Chains A and B, each alone.
Chain A
Amino acid sequence: MQLDRIPFVLLFVVLGVVGCEPPPMTENGVVGVFGGTGLGEGEFSYPRAITAAADGSVYVVDKSARIQRFGVDGVFESGWQMPKKTAGKPIGLTVHKDGRIFVADTHYHRVLVYDATGQELARFGEEGMGDGQFQLPTDVAIDDDGFIYVGEYNGNDRITKWSADLTFVKQISPPEIAGLSMVRPAAMDFDNEQTLWVADACNHRIIRLSRKGEVMSVFGERGTEPGQLRYPYDITVTPEQTLLVCEYGNSRLQWFDKEGKSLGTWGGPGRDLGQLWSPWGATVGANGDVYVVDSLNSRVQIVRR
């Protein structure tokens, strides 16, 4: 072959490739999407919470009160139905490091514990505002010592601490933080320093608490600019120890460092890939990809950054 003709051959090949449509799954870092509106396996009816297990699987709960388990690539694996759903559907999911799944069964004022197959293992909490009671539980976080922390809202906006054997310990959240009571602590997560990060959704801010409930820092204000928040409905500490915040009001994800500096945003309102419509939750999978619950689009987008 004559060497001086190689560039031309390559040029033709490049032209051929460039003339094609780009691969569909690379829009703004989206490497996968799954779900779709429906009640069949792998479909969603307004999904509202997501959590990732260490084995790579992710769990999603939607407004049909179904919890579905998916593989790392979004392939449906199994699912189960919550025992009751008439009064309302769960809005919080958390996987314990031992594989148990904690479900904030919001409108039944309790937390249900399942194994990975959907077998109910335990439940705790009852309606009320006292010790051991919940108004509307939102989310569960578990520290390295196995203590369980539950957030709740609707007139009783607080975080309570429970022992590993599911008995009430105490309320840890202070009545006021930076002059404001918490309003809808929608999500929580622990970092590697064992401090609790709380999404104080209706105050549009993020709160850092010690396990005793001491306020370590607060950041965020209502707004649409980077660094500002509107209804942060979920917060997850990434493996790099940054904070991944899912904003229901701004239909976007936003990353922060622990000092509250915005590291970037992703998404924005819309229906295309790479856009979100009133997302309720996001999590980081075992492979480092971000799984975001695109609620009104009834899908989960997998984002690689």
Chain B
Amino acid sequence: MNLLGLLSIIGFEKPQWLWLSLLVPVLVAVSIRSLAGLDPTRRVLSLVLRSAVIIVLAACLAEVVRVRQNDDLTVLFLMDRSESVKGRTETQEEYIRAVCEDIPPNDRVGVIDFARGAYLEQLPMKGGYHLDPGRLPEMPNKDRTDIAAAVRLAMAMFPHDTGKRIVILSDGNDNMGDLITEARRAKADNVVVDVVPLMYQHLNEVYFDRMVAPTNAEDGEQVPIRMMLHSLRRTTGTLELYHNDAPVPLPPESSRVELAPGNNSFVFKLPVKGSGQHRFSAVFRPDDPSADTIIDNNRAETFSVISGKGRALLLSSDLAMDNALIEALREEKIDIDVMSAEGADLTLGLLMGYGCVILANVPANYYDDVQHANLVNYVRNLGGGLIMTGGNEGFGAGGWIGSPVEGIMPVDFEIKHKRILPRGALALIMHSCEIPRGNYWGKQVAKKSVDTISSRDFIGVLAWNWSPGGETWEVPLQLATNKTAIKARIDQMGIGDMPDFDPTMELALKGLRATDAAQKHVIMISDGDPSPPRRSVIQGFKDAKITVSTIGIGYGSHVMDQSLRDIAKATGGRFYACRNPRMLPKIFVKESKVVRRPLIIDEAFQPQLVFADSDLMPGMFQTGDIPPLGGLVLTSPKSDSRVQMPLVRSTKDGLDPVLAHWQEGLGKSVAFTSGYWTRWGQQWTRWPAFSKLWAQMVRWAMRQDPASDFDTYTKIEGDRGRIIVEALDKDASFLNGLVLQAHVVAPDGSAMPVQFMQTAPGEYEAEFPVDQTGQYIASVDVQQWSQDKGRHERLGFIDTGVSIPFSPEFRELTTNEALLRRVANITDGEVLAMDPQLDDVFSHDLPPTTARRQAWDWTVAWLLLPLFLLDVAARRLASWLAFSVFVEAVLIVFMLWGLDLIHSSLMGVIGVLVLAEIVGWSIRWRSLGPAVDALTHTVTALGHAGDRSSASLQHLKGTRARTQEEKTTPSARTSGGSQPEAPAPDTKARFDMSDQQANLPAGDLQENLGGAKTTPDTVDKRRKPASAKSDEKEDQDVTSRLLKAKRRARKDFDQDDE
């Protein structure tokens, strides 16, 4: 690799440290003097190596990184699963699978599907498309398309070190996000977006463009229903009209319609009777089914709110129980509908048909989160009235603790004041890891249980913990006083694959036994796969009277329901075969409330009238008039001055609310904590004032009649809804300066505040986003400044709203290819043909990506240290031969292990060895000439070998004798004789001898091996005469003397060479 190539694969995280390389000239300047003793070649070599050490050190400090270029590719397919491409999911899957058939081995494929939201279905991984055909999870909220959200998710999922390509399969009809902006972001990130337009063009189509009814009407009025049908071709069909889901008989001339191309208007007038919301819907049925492609847009709906006499709705769990109350209310001329509480679909449309709703001993788990939210919005934002009665399923005992409904009631369902109450204890055993998103659902339902129980109850969560592996209390059994902390701990759970139920059940049994709770219960969720518990464990639960309810969750036959069923049956719990995780929250609420039984006081008491002038029963009774009740559900009054509590149960622990009420937002709510009439209230139902009291309660809570002096219009303009209010007084004069406030409740139960602006004399407008299908409902609170009272005064409410009958997806008649092409153009992508034979999404035509990986540790180990050692060796290894061997060794080690060539082919290893030899021999070539001379010298000297050996032996003996003599007369050294003293033999045998010395004939072993001279005559030959003064100094400093001698010797040799 050339230098440029090398530079392209390295980089620096902190390049400022490279300035350290400027030390190199300084080092060279200093080293030239300190290395003066070396021969020029070594001096240069040492300087080069030292400079290299400094440069490499600077590179390490600059955090050198290895920049790796990678031409591998990651392709993320984005599948459109919105309504406008309904039925084309499998086609998309087949295409992806086919186009991935010949995927290069290192390329990765990921899959994201999208509609309103985007979801990752396959992480980017090698090997192509791995999902099972037809097994993609159900796509929620298919009524909108947000391609931009899918692109955003894709950008987050790309590995950083591969090429990035997105392939969008869509009809391009994006009706939510900003795809163009997202495409520009993708371009900035070097992401190429190819598009596969899902082509269609509906040439035969009829759809409702709009359907409008007056928002408000008078009771008994003929309400005009206007509708506009849009047709692409001339066609005939039948128009059907429904009023509150009941078909409206239309004469044939009205129902038989012929549609011309374009818009076709129709108007029907329908009489409406009875207060509340009246829903109207229309359906068009073409005579020729082929004349209409999409049937989902053949239905439209709207509604009117009729002011007038209020109606009440009683939701009952047990009609026999509530019969006395129903009859009493009807006796008092209350217009009341009765509905079974279980299965009632508490939509806002239903609720708005009534002025007051009574939840008669109804548990919370009958309704989902949206329905709970609807109840809240009905009261708080739409002015409805809500009455909740007690019984074994009311208030806290019915699992309403933690529900948003608790927030709109005048009592808290928790017991706040100090009193000794039996506690409940709940243990959750979680083995939900076998279902998709199992950990998510496990945590959600566990938190639901925490919300449902009282803070005076115990709760704990058990699971098999993956790490380190074993059953454990993920949330130790504890009082639920700090629910936030408990839920935070639940969020940290890791729910693992439990081998058997025994250990967790034993832990639950042991933990629950140790509590003083009166009611102990276990909820266990699993696919039934763990080994069933032993009989002894089950017996332990039975003995301790601890019930275990089990929930079998998972795919069809995968769930081993039987063992779970057996556990529940043996311990007196309930078993649920649940195949849809969305059902889990209701089940957990239902089961969690089992431990709330202590909230029920099942004993007779005399209600006390403590506030006779309440709005609800102004001066109606004295305490003595009121018959006793047989029980109630414990609650606590809210600490709010708006709460009025006329009836209580008085005990030594304090006052328990029996009847409490307040106004919350625009509506009102009443809590009657007793009820359960056949068990607790038989004396009450026989009480003559019973019907009067209840009628008064319902009338008080009933929502106010809407103000009738205002005309209200609503419009849908694109993705915005608009409410227009025209305000006139009785003299038909404009009412200006009004304050109009409202919360618009969306179909999903969320409420958004809207601001009204006065746009013309007596005209006010507000706008809000509409991105859901269904009804948007609002009650507009109209207030006017009263000069007399010095404050705003309510003029009344206006019920209004708009209906989005079907998703805008069903208005799309053709593919928006232009948008998709534009996205491809922005990102340099292509428009693909959706032909696996032609489309090459894995073409490696993207610029290669780079990955930066830290390399300072490698640099230290394999560059800095070897260079340092080479530098030392260059200075200290006197022999070129030895130095060349050292260099060879370093090179071999560096290349085989540092560059990891040891794992290459045999030829690679041989190549390394050959290269090292070439370098080694190129260094030691200097030694070759002297070596040959030495060889010749040796051969010549062989003839005199005997003499030389004898002489040498004599010489050695003489030396030895002198040495011994010196040892025996140490004073001779210290007193300083007249003879110049020879330098002491260097027993450390330094490597500073010259090449000439190294290549001397073998005759004088002592000289060759030691490098230092031991005979005085040799020393004399090499030393210059010195003054007596300097001799004295040298005597004091042997080391410096030796160094000087060495330098002189070097100088002599250099002169000889010249």
Interface residues of A (CB under 8 A from B): 1-2, 4-5, 8-9, 12-13, 15-17, 19-21, 37-41, 43, 64, 85-88, 107, 136, 153-155, 157, 183-184, 201-202, 230-231, 233, 248-251, 269, 277-278, 296
State whether the Cβ of B274 lies closer than 8 Å to any Cβ in chain A: no
Q: Which residue of A lies closest to B103 (CB)?
A: A40
Q: Which residue of A lies closest to B991 (CB)?
A: A5
Is the CB–CB distance between B861 and A9 below 8 Å? no
Given contacts A9-B882, A278-B469, contact A40 B890 (CB under 8 A): no
Cβ contact of A15, chosen from B555, B865, B894, B989, cutoff 8 A: B865
Q: How far is the CA of A140 from the CA of B75 in the complex (A)?
A: 41
12 extra interface residue pairs, beta carbon distance < 8 Å, beyond A2-B882, A2-B998, A251-B468? A1-B881, A8-B877, A9-B889, A12-B886, A13-B893, A37-B125, A41-B127, A86-B555, A107-B558, A154-B529, A277-B467, A296-B466
B540 to chain A, nearest CB (A): 16
Is the CB–CB distance between A154 and B563 below 8 Å? yes
Interface residues of B in 872-903 (CB under 8 A from A): 872-873, 877, 879, 881-882, 885-886, 889-890, 893-894, 897-898
Given contacts A5-B877, A107-B558, contact A39 B125 (CB under 8 A): yes
- Give 7 nearest A-B pairs by CB, closest first: A40-B126, A40-B127, A269-B468, A202-B500, A39-B130, A38-B125, A87-B558
Is the CB–CB distance between A16 and B869 below 8 Å? yes
Is the CB–CB distance between A21 and B558 below 8 Å? no
Given contacts A40-B125, A202-B502, contact A20 B861 (CB under 8 A): yes
Q: How far is the CA of A136 from the CA of B558 in the complex (A)?
A: 11
Q: How far is the CA of A19 from the CA of B862 in the complex (A)?
A: 8
Contact with A along B73-113 (1 / 0, CB 8 A): 00000000000000000000000000000000100000000
Is the CB–CB distance between A202 and B531 below 8 Å? yes
A47 to chain B, nearest CB (A): 13
* B residues in contact with A16, CB < 8 Å: 865-866, 869, 889-890, 893-894
B325 to chain A, nearest CB (A): 49
* A residues in contact with B130, CB < 8 Å: 39, 64
Is the CB–CB distance between B500 and A248 below 8 Å? no
Q: How far is the CA of A215 from the CA of B437 in the complex (A)?
A: 43
* B residues in contact with A269, CB < 8 Å: 467-469
Q: How far is the CA of A8 from the CA of B502 in the complex (A)?
A: 66
State whether the Cβ of B254 lies closer than 8 Å to any Cβ in chain A: no
| 28 contacts across the A-B interface (CB closer than 8 A) | A1-B881, A1-B882, A4-B1009, A5-B877, A12-B872, A12-B873, A12-B889, A12-B890, A13-B893, A15-B865, A16-B890, A16-B894, A19-B865, A20-B897, A20-B898, A39-B130, A43-B126, A85-B132, A107-B557, A154-B528, A154-B531, A202-B499, A202-B500, A202-B502, A202-B531, A230-B469, A249-B470, A269-B469
Cβ contact of A21, chosen from B105, B467, B857, B1009, cutoff 8 A: B857
B38 to chain A, nearest CB (A): 17
Cβ contact of B531, chosen from A8, A15, A157, cutoff 8 A: A157
Q: Which residue of A lies closest to B884 (CB)?
A: A1
State whether the Cβ of B556 lies closer than 8 Å to any Cβ in chain A: yes
* B residues in contact with A107, CB < 8 Å: 557-558
Interface residues of B (CB under 8 A from A): 105, 125-127, 130, 132, 135, 466-470, 496-497, 499-500, 502, 528-529, 531-532, 534, 555-558, 560, 562-563, 857, 861-862, 865-866, 869, 872-873, 877, 879, 881-882, 885-886, 889-890, 893-894, 897-898, 989, 991, 998, 1008-1009
Q: How far is the CA of A127 from the CA of B466 in the complex (A)?
A: 30
Q: How far is the CA of A154 from the CA of B531 in the complex (A)?
A: 5
Is the CB–CB distance between A43 and B532 below 8 Å? no
Is the CB–CB distance between A1 and B898 below 8 Å? no
Is the CB–CB distance between A9 and B998 below 8 Å? no
* A residues in contact with B998, CB < 8 Å: 2
Instruction: Among A8, A43, A248, find the residue whose CB has the most chain B CB atoms closer than 10 A.
Output: A8
Q: How far is the CA of A20 from the CA of B896 in the complex (A)?
A: 12
Is the CB–CB distance between B532 and A155 below 8 Å? yes
Q: How far is the CA of A250 from the CA of B1008 in the complex (A)?
A: 65
Q: How far is the CA of A233 from the CA of B469 in the complex (A)?
A: 13
Q: Which residue of A lies closest to B998 (CB)?
A: A2
Is the CB–CB distance between B531 and A13 below 8 Å? no
Q: Which residue of B lies closest to A11 (CB)?
A: B869
B1008 to chain A, nearest CB (A): 7
Q: How far is the CA of A296 from the CA of B467 in the complex (A)?
A: 10
* B residues in contact with A250, CB < 8 Å: 469
Is the CB–CB distance between A17 and B531 below 8 Å? no
Q: Which residue of B lies closest to A249 (CB)?
A: B469
Q: How far is the CA of A64 from the CA of B122 in the complex (A)?
A: 13
Is the CB–CB distance between B126 and A38 below 8 Å? yes
Q: How far is the CA of A251 from the CA of B467 in the complex (A)?
A: 9
Q: How far is the CA of A277 from the CA of B893 in the complex (A)?
A: 36
A8 to chain B, nearest CB (A): 7
A265 to chain B, nearest CB (A): 14
B998 to chain A, nearest CB (A): 7
Given contacts A16-B866, A17-B893, contact A1 B879 (CB under 8 A): yes
A228 to chain B, nearest CB (A): 13
B50 to chain A, nearest CB (A): 17
Is the CB–CB distance between A87 and B557 below 8 Å? yes
Is the CB–CB distance between A153 and B466 below 8 Å? no
Q: Which residue of B lies closest to A108 (CB)?
A: B557
Given contacts A155-B563, A269-B468, A277-B466, contact A86 B882 (CB under 8 A): no
Is the CB–CB distance between B529 and A278 below 8 Å? no
Given contacts A20-B897, A231-B499, contact A2 B866 (CB under 8 A): no
Q: Which residue of B lies closest to A271 (CB)?
A: B467
* A residues in contact with B469, CB < 8 Å: 230, 248-251, 269, 277-278
Is the CB–CB distance between A87 and B126 below 8 Å? no
Is the CB–CB distance between A12 and B125 below 8 Å? no
Q: How far is the CA of A17 from the CA of B563 in the complex (A)?
A: 61
Q: Which residue of B lies closest to A13 (CB)?
A: B889
Q: How far is the CA of A4 from the CA of B502 in the complex (A)?
A: 72
Q: How far is the CA of A86 from the CA of B127 in the complex (A)?
A: 21
Is the CB–CB distance between A248 and B555 below 8 Å? no
Is the CB–CB distance between B873 and A1 below 8 Å? no
Q: How far is the CA of A136 from the CA of B531 in the complex (A)?
A: 10
Q: Which residue of B lies closest to A231 (CB)?
A: B499
B1013 to chain A, nearest CB (A): 16
Is the CB–CB distance between A5 and B882 below 8 Å? yes
* B residues in contact with A9, CB < 8 Å: 877, 882, 885-886, 889
A261 to chain B, nearest CB (A): 24
* A residues in contact with B1009, CB < 8 Å: 2, 4
Q: How far is the CA of A16 from the CA of B140 in the complex (A)?
A: 62
* B residues in contact with A184, CB < 8 Å: 499-500, 531
Given contacts A12-B873, A13-B893, contact A183 B531 (CB under 8 A): yes
Given contacts A2-B879, A12-B873, contact A41 B126 (CB under 8 A): yes
Q: Which residue of B lies closest to A23 (CB)?
A: B897
* B residues in contact with A12, CB < 8 Å: 869, 872-873, 886, 889-890
Q: How far is the CA of A59 from the CA of B1008 in the complex (A)?
A: 66
